[in-house]
Amino acid sequence: MCDAPGVHNGEPSIQALERDTADGQNVELVYERLRAAILRGELAPERALSQVQLAKELGVSRTPLREALRLLQREGLVEAEPNRRVRIAGFSVGDMEQIYLARIPLEAAAVRLSVPRMTSEEIAGLEGDLAQMAHFAAARDYERWEVPHRAFHRRLVAHAGARVAALLADLSDHAERYRRFYTTQVPRAWTSGVAEHRAIADAVAAGDADAAAARLVEHLAHTAYSTIDAVEPGYDPARLREAVAISGAPVSAAGRSRSRSRRRA
């Protein structure tokens, strides 16, 4: 009986194994490249993409591309369309609300756990991150600002455990499109961000875990509320307000104002 193509004496051939390995590596590379392009806004929300053209642009075969797109679809970053096309997921305040209502309570708890365990060197690291953030904020350089910004938030939760840190990093990734819009498009976002991060770091330096968590919640909620106000002013983020309250920080002025206006409607 003849062996199947790529199989010799019941075992995959070296060439078949090499192809499988190459495809597996290509899936990861394509997935990471497309994911970054979507989250960074390089592939615009609602944009429709031809898989044939996309495979040509990326220089890969259709097999790893299809698998990468399936992974992105599971994350909610792309949507399948007929005729083998895909569409980049839209910019949705409802999606953003879900990201932040998951992130806020978890990150607040992680900060409360981490602050008492932080060393002087780690607190100094926060100060270094802040200095870089302030420098790049003054230049309105989002790409360079985002690097110390991510480092700052990683340090805040470093003692909560690797799984918690990974979950928060994933939520932060998914918030990237909305954070980028807020920071670059909403008036006074740069100056507000500098002040809010400074307040978090001051509470950490004082060893006040509850205050650090409260300042963090206020900062994240302010980003979410301000983005909603800019994109869809009539949207009522009721679940987000509950998440903020559960996390032990007061509802922001934006949240209170929206709640009152909804009740009057």
- Please write the tens of the pLDDT for every residue from 51-91: 888 888 888 888 888 899 999 988 888 988 776 788 888 88
- 84 neighbors 52 (Cβ within 8 angstroms): yes
Q: Which residues pair with 86 in a beta bridge?
A: 49, 80
SS3 88: strand
SS3 202: helix
State the Cα–Cα distance between residues 91 and 44, nearest whole angstrom: 9
pTM: 0.77
**Confidence at residue 250, expressed as pLDDT on a 0 to 100 scale:** 53
- Beta-carbon contacts of residue 228 (< 8 Å; ≥ 6 apart): 93, 96, 97, 235, 237, 258
Domains of the chain: 7-88 (1.10.10.10), 93-264 (1.20.120.530)
Mean pLDDT per block of 10 residues along the chain (265 residues) reads 45 38 68 86 85 85 88 87 80 93 96 98 98 97 96 98 96 92 94 96 97 96 95 94 82 44 39
**Confidence at residue 25, expressed as pLDDT on a 0 to 100 scale:** 62
DSSP assignment string, 19-46 = HHHHHHHHHHHHHHHHHHHHHTTSS-TT
Residues shown for the chain? 265
